[in-house]
Amino acid sequence: MTPVIALLGRPNVGKSTLFNRLTRSRDALVADFPGVTRDRLVGTGRLGERPFWVVDTGGLLGEDPELSGKVSAQALAAAREADAVVLVVDGRGGLTADDRTIANTLRGLGQPVWLAVNKAEHLDVELVRADFFELGLGQPWPISSAHGHGVAELLEAVFASFPEADQATGEEQADPRPVFAVVGRPNAGKSTLINRLLGEERLIESPLPGTTRDCVQVPVTIDGIDCVLLDTAGLRRRAQVHEPIEKFSVVKTLQAIDQAQVVILVLDGALGVSEQDAHIAGQALARGRGMVLAVNKSDTLDAAARLALRLEIQRRLPFVNFAPIEFISAKNGRGVKALTKAAFVVQHSAIARAPTSELTRLLETIVARNPPPMSAGRRAKLRYAHQGGHTPPTIVIHGTQVASLPPNYLRYLENSFREALGLIGTPVRIVTKQGENPYAGRANVLTPSQLERKHRARRRGRKLFGD
């Protein structure tokens, strides 16, 4: 799965600045006084073609004993669950007693730790390293979060200890078995559904929300096919998440979505569709995952209530209108067979491939039915298409002026290709490639049209004034 890096350190050493640098965002608040970050913040980063998660934490050993104790508990929970820990220290302020205490605590966790000496711009690198070698965490890495100096080198050192990624995709080699992530709000019935598929009480079930804290991988054979089910913690609204370990469960759930080919979003039929359901569906869509909507606890709903709930789903989740909707009861097994059948159909669609000749023919038909709109007096010309990847199916379209295609026309292309290829439950990504102008950068060379105009003018001159 995508590795997780946790940033730890005492207050005001630049963890949030480094977080913003790694995620290329401004999601973390930055100020010149300690205690700004009190809760954990999760973002995504990328080193070359390799993605990673990064977790910003509050400062350890703050001045307020009551508050700093809670903040420290969250930071240490993040360190325990992460794949790597980056301890950030202040190069200008030098080594402190708090740095020694934090380093001793991290060594006790048994996690791989890298030491980042921040604010090291304009400092003597050798003196900075000599000062912090005392912490016994290996080589100190002088960096500047504000200016980006040394950050890439630090990340390369961190990733050097991880398994090699697939150079073509930037991802780890996928499990050959179909992988389904079961996600949803707390107490929607995710573990009950997996136990139903297993035919045994493998996972703990409880009416209390938050029973599942980690992502649990469960091998299972369904209809003679070996699969992997990922049971995940329920995602609640941020304001309702308080315990440190539960906060990190959100990261584990997002990792499970990344790892899966198909996301089974379990909705609570008794409660309807919430904003959190829409948020989870949006996360799966942003990651290009196929999706099935499983409406659980529907055994108490009559036909009219089911129709009303289906209309509510279409209204609240219009951006995943391609996902099949299945009404189930995980408790008594009703509708589960149809759900698994739909999940396999979506999985086959997510990994589907099509030859270039077929995609180009479909492109011509789609464009003929609805040509692209004019832009600045010119119309884009879509010449040919080929497949650029799968999970989700990615279609690369080559042509001229394709960079000016509006979002609504790209959605038209996506929906048209999905329908024409018979894909079910999976998003389709459209990537446009602008054709290069062969005369670009050649100011002294006339284009064919310019050359023709020049010849015409020369011929007219000969007729008027003689040769």
Please report the pLDDT score of residue 162 as a whole number. Answer: 76
Q: Are residues 70 and 140 in the same domain?
A: yes
Percent of the chain with pLDDT over 70: 78
CATH for 390: 3.30.300.20
Please report the pLDDT score of residue 461 as a whole number. Answer: 66
Judge whether residue 420 has pLDDT over 90. yes
Which structure tokens are listed for 75?
Answer: 């930071």
Q: Are residues 116 and 216 in the same domain?
A: no
Judge whether residue 33 has pLDDT over 60. no
Q: Is the dihedral of CA 401, 407, 409, 413 positive or negative?
A: positive
Contact 325, 301 (CB under 8 A): no
The pLDDT-based confidence of 431 (bands split at 50, 70, 90) is very high
pLDDT in tens, 222-276: 888 999 888 776 554 444 444 443 444 567 778 788 889 999 999 999 888 988 8
Decide which of 350, 372, 388 is a domain's last residue: 350
Judge whether residue 19 has pLDDT over 60. yes
Decide which of 95, 127, 159 is a domain's last residue: 159
Please report the pLDDT score of residue 136 as a whole number. Answer: 87
Contact 251, 55 (CB under 8 A): yes
Higher pLDDT, 168 or 6: 6
Judge whether residue 464 has pLDDT over 60. no
**HSE, side-chain direction, 13 A CA sphere, residue 403:** 4
- The winner for highest mean pLDDT among 55-69, 170-184, 240-254, 380-394 is 380-394
Judge whether residue 456 has pLDDT over 80. no
Please report the pLDDT score of residue 229 as a whole number. Answer: 87
Q: What is the average pLDDT value for the chain, to the nearest integer?
A: 81
Which structure tokens are listed for 305?
Answer: 């209530």
Q: How many domains does the chain have?
A: 3
CATH for 103: 3.40.50.300
Mean pLDDT of 119-129: 85
pLDDT in tens, 40-52: 567 778 888 788 8
Please report the pLDDT score of residue 253 as a whole number. Answer: 77
Domain assignment present for residue 454? The answer is no
Task: State the residue range of the domain holding 428.
Answer: 362-434
Q: Are residues 188 and 79 in the same domain?
A: no
Higher pLDDT, 247 or 1: 1
Judge whether residue 141 has pLDDT over 70. yes
Q: Are residues 343 and 383 in the same domain?
A: no
Report d(CA 103, CA 113) in Å as an integer. Answer: 9
Higher pLDDT, 463 or 225: 225
Q: Are residues 370 and 311 in the same domain?
A: no
Higher pLDDT, 60 or 111: 111
Percent of the chain with pLDDT over 90: 37
Domain assignment present for residue 52? The answer is yes
CA dihedral defined by 37, 42, 45, 50, rounded to 10 degrees?
140
Q: Are residues 267 and 316 in the same domain?
A: yes
Domain assignment present for residue 168? The answer is no
Please report the pLDDT score of residue 38 as a whole number. Answer: 39
Domain assignment present for residue 443? The answer is no
pTM across the whole model: 0.61
Q: Are residues 31 and 85 in the same domain?
A: yes
Domain assignment present for residue 17? The answer is yes
Mean pLDDT of 25-36: 46
Report d(CA 115, CA 138) in Å as an integer. Answer: 7
Q: Are residues 189 and 275 in the same domain?
A: yes
Please report the pLDDT score of residue 42 as a whole number. Answer: 72
Higher pLDDT, 325 or 464: 325
The pLDDT-based confidence of 217 (bands split at 50, 70, 90) is confident
| Closest residue by Cα to residue 115 from 106, 354, 421 | 106
Please report the pLDDT score of residue 212 as a whole number. Answer: 39
| CB atoms near residue 440 (< 10 Å) | 7
- The winner for highest mean pLDDT among 280-284, 425-429, 456-460 is 425-429
Residue written as tokens 């055994």? Answer: 299
Q: Are residues 282 and 410 in the same domain?
A: no
The pLDDT-based confidence of 443 (bands split at 50, 70, 90) is low
Decide which of 124, 159, 194 is a domain's last residue: 159
pLDDT in tens, 319-374: 999 999 999 999 999 999 999 999 999 999 999 999 999 999 999 999 999 999 98
Judge whether residue 163 has pLDDT over 80. no
Q: Is the dihedral of CA 186, 192, 197, 200 positive or negative?
A: positive
Q: Are residues 151 and 215 in the same domain?
A: no
Return left, alpha or beta for 380; rule: phi > 0 is left, psi -120 to 50 is alpha, else beta. Answer: beta
Domain assignment present for residue 355? The answer is no
Q: Are residues 89 and 132 in the same domain?
A: yes
Q: Are residues 316 and 398 in the same domain?
A: no
| CB atoms near residue 74 (< 10 Å) | 21
Higher pLDDT, 26 or 407: 407
For the ranges 100-114, 120-134, 328-342, 447-461, the lowest mean pLDDT is seen at 447-461
Domain assignment present for residue 145? The answer is yes
Please report the pLDDT score of residue 37 as a whole number. Answer: 41
Domain assignment present for residue 84? The answer is yes
Higher pLDDT, 434 or 370: 370
